[in-house]
Structure 1
Amino acid sequence: MTFSADQGTPVLEVSDLKISYHGGERYHPVVHGVSFRVEPGEVVALVGESGSGKTTTAQSVIGLLPANGHVDRGTIRLNGTDISRWSDRQFDTIRGARISLVPQDPGSSLNPVKTIGAQVGEILEIHGEARGKELERRVLALLECVGLPDPELRARQYPHELSGGMRQRVLIAIAIALKPELIIADEPTSALDVTVQKRILDLIDELRAEYGTAVLLVTHDLGVAVDRADRLVVLQGGRVQEEGRASEVLAAPRSPYTRQLIADAPSLSRSAAWVTATARSSTGTAATDDVVVVEQLVQEFPRPTRGEAPFSAVDHVSFRVRRGTTHAIVGESGSGKTTTVRAVVGFQKPTSGKIEIDGTDLSTLGGETLRQFRRKIQLVYQNPYASLDPRQTIFEIVEEPLLNFGNLSRLERREKTLAILSRVGLPEALATRRAHALSGGQRQRVAIARALVLDPQVVVLDEAVSALDVTVQARILDLLDELQQDLGLTYLFVSHDLAVVRQIADTVSVLRGGRLVDEGPVAQVFDHPGSDYTRELISAIPGRKHPAFA
């Protein structure tokens, strides 16, 4: 098939697209009459929360719908040619060559037993573009093009030897290898740190400008869409709620759903967030005692080579958290933030330094005393699905800590379990379900309920909202704030998302390479960052084209 579009023909034109999934006799429509177009060199963002139909729409464009997915109606035109009902064999002729995909998860998208060079070269071999020495030269040129240091070394390495940002660059190298007319970027940075995210999006933008490639950007992050897209297509429930130029949609959204997305996006609510941060900081300073005290914390791990100096994951970190406030620990992957909080909750013994929780020195605890101490401090993980037992009902999951730590009667446990489920906004009817039957937001509420059922004083939230859609994230943040006000909880909030930190925290510690590079009240650190690294983190927050940043 030859694609020779007339001047003025869109690279991609989707018209009245309807898609459904079939299972036995069940018929489940998920995309309802979606239409949009992408012009040459243009970036169009499909925006919406999970279940909005954005990924299904994108999959249909490149012919990668699941086996039970079906295009019921409408057309998908690539440079004027209708490809909506093409076979896999037909799609094989254009995937990579005319249209490419940058998937969300580089970890599961790269073959773990093939070298990076072999995987980048594969797309060139499949389409007969290069062989032998020429193939090697083209592979190294692509790796260099996407900014990977030492391309010859990277080509010999395997995916597990590269960072998440490096792996995503490899996927981009594969996507641009044959200079396609259209790149579909499906949540390409949602799993990356904010600074790595910025560099990856900058790279896609530079390549688009160089090659004139059109980009269909699929994202739930309205801040990213505002920064990077020329036009937005806002989806909800498989229907287009709003479409238009990004600046116009953000300045004057017509759809109530779009207005809610904007209100819920931390990176797009700068003014409100600053007021909140300032108010929270002034409230926090009224507290009279520090419930968490960390002084000169050092956490070292042995290296595999005998005689080699140990690896210092945390290097003399100190901070204090006042009772009833929220202290954030921020930094990129590898900064030491998760290692720090694991020491704070007593999961690992520090190499040196002191940790006190409500006046108790953790170094004096051990065995049963340490186990009972953990009632005071509870942890909520990033991924609620992975941390909830799939065999237990929701009631059993939340009740379990009471069985482990308490001596309440069965009736008292039932009353307390149902009460805390109600407190986090979960109806009693969900108590008999299992985790797989709940949404991501509901599962995170279960994880919070489990942490609170023992009446702790301190709750550690380790990237507890980073895996959630922006609207769900906003509801969970509201819930956390409400619980803190009502129960007097103290939060230690671990995150790489400074937009969320700006919204929820009173004070903040910024870590880099295991060392403290900035600290203080949130408003002070954001207004007057004390390190170049903190300034880089702040400048990488998406959504800076929004009028609120003007």
Structure 2
Amino acid sequence: MSIQTALQRAAATPLLELDKVSIAYQEATGSRRVVHDVSFSIQPGEVVALVGESGSGKTTTAQAIIGLLTENGRLEQGAIRLNGTDIAHWSSRRLDAVRGAQISLIPQDPSSSLNPVKTIGEQVAEIVNIHRRLPRKQVQRRVLELLTRVGLTHPELRARQYPHELSGGMKQRVLIAIAIALQPALIIADEPTSALDVTVQKRILDLIDELRQEFGTAVLLVTHDLAVAAERADRLLVFRHGRVQEQGVTAEVLRAPASDYTRRLFADVPSLAGAAAPRLNLGTQAPAIQVNGLVKDFRLAGSGGKSYRALDQVSFSVQSGTTHALVGESGSGKTTLARCLLGFQRPDAGQIIIDGTDFTRLKGEALRQFRRRIQLVYQNPFGSLDPSQTLYQVIEEPLLNFEPLGKAERYRRVRELFERVALPDDLLGRKPRELSGGQRQRVAIARALVLQPRVLVLDEATSALDVTVQAQILRLLQDLQQALGLTYLFISHDLATVRQISHSVSVLHRGQQVDGGTTRDLFAMPGSDYTRQLIEAIPGRHWHAAQPKSEDAFHEQ
């Protein structure tokens, strides 16, 4: 074999290749196959995205590559080749030499992926010490280099801190530092930005891309965020029910999806579909919500009486029957404002007027009864429902707390709401664990509506859901608003969704309102640099803007 032929063959060998991989889980009822005959490859320096809804098999496939399937998971058939060598059936001990050195993982949840009792420096040093025997000072120097490389300020301080002392974005940067410590050939990024604000998300994705270009590292991006995949991946693989629906160059798949499922999936992504904001028709009636000069301070523990101003003279009004969005990064004051609106915290100054009543002046039983007019739908449908209650009991409970209704009337009200949120009656006797995420959020919405409130506070109510389920819940919320005349306060860091559902917006930054107005005007002519940065950071918006309307196949359908 000539040297030229050998080089050609080496160049043709993918960094990673999966060949007809099938994976099953062993359950009480027997073996259940969850991944079916999956084949794809990744070349050095390439970004390949696995996209699809929860349960589609994408994370299971990624786990199998690095030998991290759960105890009841097993590779039934197929090959997983790393640089031409099949590692599919290697023992965990043998794979230890590969993990970190050749393939690294950036896990999804930065809050649960770091050891809470070890410093950041110790955890970064650990990966270096496992694979390389270096003097202690050299390891410490490498740790500081890595923390600096991923953009953490004051790396010496960060190395001494514990995970709870860092923000979510900072913790994710630490995980990236660990992942790149040994300059691996492949990084598996499993939903690396799903829990982050849009601007932090952009910075993290930019960082991964910079590292890829610098070191020639390939990236396997596992995500349900199709907008992120559209903007960042060279190639897409669309998963559904453990099978690859289609795969190809990202731009080609987006312009002309081959399967109906892929077309529906893309059509549900607000930033890809180019959804326009609903129009705000100004009425003469009094606003449903009016916030005037709201101020909220928190005392800092151990600071000698110093305080932190979470809200600083925030004012806005919301027209009855419309949706007003609160947007901003973590720490901007969104949640504090919502807690004041719900009566969980009292502002230090200002007014909150709901349906003409100054909410801030109410106390005791008057406050408790007034809370019926404003209800909350939480972010996480998996944690907001009592697992010991049936769905009927979940929805009925507010009636038992507030209204002396007979059993028959309570049953009628619960069934009516169950039907209104498009859930079948035969689920009423089931427990939350038996439902999907979208079904659970429908139950949470029904529970919030059972007291017939005028206002719903939706705290990131769709952020934990897959894109298709998210679209279904947004349509349900719009239908309920039109049918019942509801007013929504929609708290979100997802500006693409905000543009799709909200009539008006307030932008918060470090406790201050830096922008506000109708959604259409704000997106067309943002009034602050901060708002422009938020809009610029929306994943997928640049891809959509660049496409000729006639070629936007999935949007036209």
After TM superposition, the score normalised by the length of structure 2 is: 0.96
Cross-structure match for 1:214:
218
**Alignment partners' CA distance in 2, 1:263 and 1:532:** 30
Q: Secondary structure in 2 aligned to 1:441?
A: helix
Counterpart check, 1:521 vs 2:518: yes
How do 1:236-255 residues align onto structure 2 when only pairs under 5 Å count? Answer: 236-255=240-259
Q: Output one character per residue of 1:347-406: Cα deviation in whole Å (capped at 9) or x when no partner.
A: 111111001000001122111111100110100010122111111000000000111111
Q: Output one character per residue of 1:493-526: Cα deviation in whole Å (capped at 9) or x when no partner.
A: 0001100000000000000000000000001000
Cross-structure match for 2:4:
none
Q: Output one character per residue of 1:64-101: Cα deviation in whole Å (capped at 9) or x when no partner.
A: 00011010011110110101111101110110000000
**Alignment partners' CA distance in 2, 1:174 and 1:455:** 50
Counterpart check, 1:266 vs 2:266: no
Q: Given residue 451 of structure 2, which amino acid in structure 1 is its aligned partner?
A: L
Does the 8 A contact of 1:287 with 1:324 survive in 2? no
Q: Which runs of 5+ in 2 are unaligned?
A: 1-6, 548-557
How do 1:69-468 residues align onto structure 2 when only pairs under 5 Å count? Answer: 69-270=73-274, 273-274=275-276, 277=277, 280-283=278-281, 285-286=282-283, 288-305=285-302, 307-468=304-465
Does the 8 A contact of 2:294 with 2:311 survive in 1? yes
Correspondent of 2:484 among 487, 491, 495: 487
Q: Which runs of 5+ in 1 are unaligned?
A: none
**Alignment partners' CA distance in 1, 2:340 and 2:153:** 34
Q: Secondary structure in 2 aligned to 1:241?
A: strand
**Alignment partners' CA distance in 2, 1:128 and 1:179:** 13
Does the 8 A contact of 2:273 with 2:544 survive in 1? no
Q: Given residue 22 of structure 1, which amino acid in structure 2 is its aligned partner?
A: Q
Q: Secondary structure in 2 aligned to 1:242?
A: strand
Does the 8 A contact of 1:287 with 1:322 survive in 2? no
Counterpart check, 1:64 vs 2:68: yes
**Alignment partners' CA distance in 1, 2:28 and 2:544:** 49
Deviation at 1:544, TM superposition (A): 2.8
Q: Output one character per residue of 1:124-146: Cα deviation in whole Å (capped at 9) or x when no partner.
A: 10112423100000110011111
Residue identity over aligned pairs, in percent, reads 63
**Alignment partners' CA distance in 2, 1:343 and 1:214:** 47
Q: Output one character per residue of 1:480-502: Cα deviation in whole Å (capped at 9) or x when no partner.
A: 00000000000000001100000
Does the 8 A contact of 1:266 with 1:499 survive in 2? yes
**Alignment partners' CA distance in 2, 1:175 and 1:105:** 14
Q: Given residue 410 of structure 1, which amino acid in structure 2 is its aligned partner?
A: K
Q: Output one character per residue of 1:404-443: Cα deviation in whole Å (capped at 9) or x when no partner.
A: 1111110000010011011001111111111111111011
Does the 8 A contact of 1:226 with 1:545 survive in 2? no
Q: Secondary structure in 2 aligned to 1:324?
A: coil
Deviation at 1:287, TM superposition (A): 5.5
C-alpha spacing 1:294/1:80, structure 2 compared with 1 (3 Å):
same
Counterpart check, 1:33 vs 2:37: yes
After TM superposition, the score normalised by the length of structure 1 is: 0.97
Q: Secondary structure in 1 aligned to 2:192?
A: coil
**Alignment partners' CA distance in 2, 1:70 and 1:120:** 30
Deviation at 1:282, TM superposition (A): 3.4
Does the 8 A contact of 1:269 with 1:548 survive in 2? no
Does the 8 A contact of 2:280 with 2:504 survive in 1? no
C-alpha spacing 1:24/1:400, structure 2 compared with 1 (3 Å):
closer
**Alignment partners' CA distance in 1, 2:221 and 2:195:** 15
Q: Secondary structure in 2 aligned to 1:55?
A: helix
Q: Secondary structure in 1 aligned to 2:258?
A: coil
Cross-structure match for 1:18:
22
Deviation at 1:303, TM superposition (A): 1.1
Q: Output one character per residue of 1:438-496: Cα deviation in whole Å (capped at 9) or x when no partner.
A: 11101100000000011100000011001110000000000000000000000000001
Q: Secondary structure in 2 aligned to 1:304?
A: coil
Deviation at 1:269, TM superposition (A): 1.5
Q: Secondary structure in 1 aligned to 2:382?
A: helix
Deviation at 1:307, TM superposition (A): 3.3
Q: Given residue 295 of structure 1, which amino acid in structure 2 is its aligned partner?
A: N
**Alignment partners' CA distance in 2, 1:256 and 1:57:** 23
Q: Given residue 490 of structure 2, which amino acid in structure 1 is its aligned partner?
A: F
**Alignment partners' CA distance in 2, 1:287 and 1:490:** 16
Regions of 4+ moved over 6 Å: none
Cross-structure match for 1:7:
11
Q: Secondary structure in 2 aligned to 1:267?
A: helix
**Alignment partners' CA distance in 1, 2:460 and 2:280:** 25
**Alignment partners' CA distance in 2, 1:190 and 1:251:** 25
C-alpha spacing 1:547/1:362, structure 2 compared with 1 (3 Å):
closer
Q: Given residue 279 of structure 2, which amino acid in structure 1 is its aligned partner?
A: S
**Alignment partners' CA distance in 2, 1:152 and 1:547:** 42
C-alpha spacing 1:549/1:323, structure 2 compared with 1 (3 Å):
farther
Cross-structure match for 2:3:
none
Cross-structure match for 1:48:
52
Cross-structure match for 2:530:
533
Cross-structure match for 2:472:
475
Deviation at 1:545, TM superposition (A): 4.2
Q: Given residue 394 of structure 2, which amino acid in structure 1 is its aligned partner?
A: I
**Alignment partners' CA distance in 1, 2:336 and 2:280:** 29
Aligned length: 540
C-alpha spacing 1:395/1:25, structure 2 compared with 1 (3 Å):
closer
Q: Given residue 347 of structure 1, which amino acid in structure 2 is its aligned partner?
A: F
Does the 8 A contact of 1:355 with 1:363 survive in 2? yes
Q: Given residue 238 of structure 1, which amino acid in structure 2 is its aligned partner?
A: G
Q: Secondary structure in 1 aligned to 2:152?
A: coil
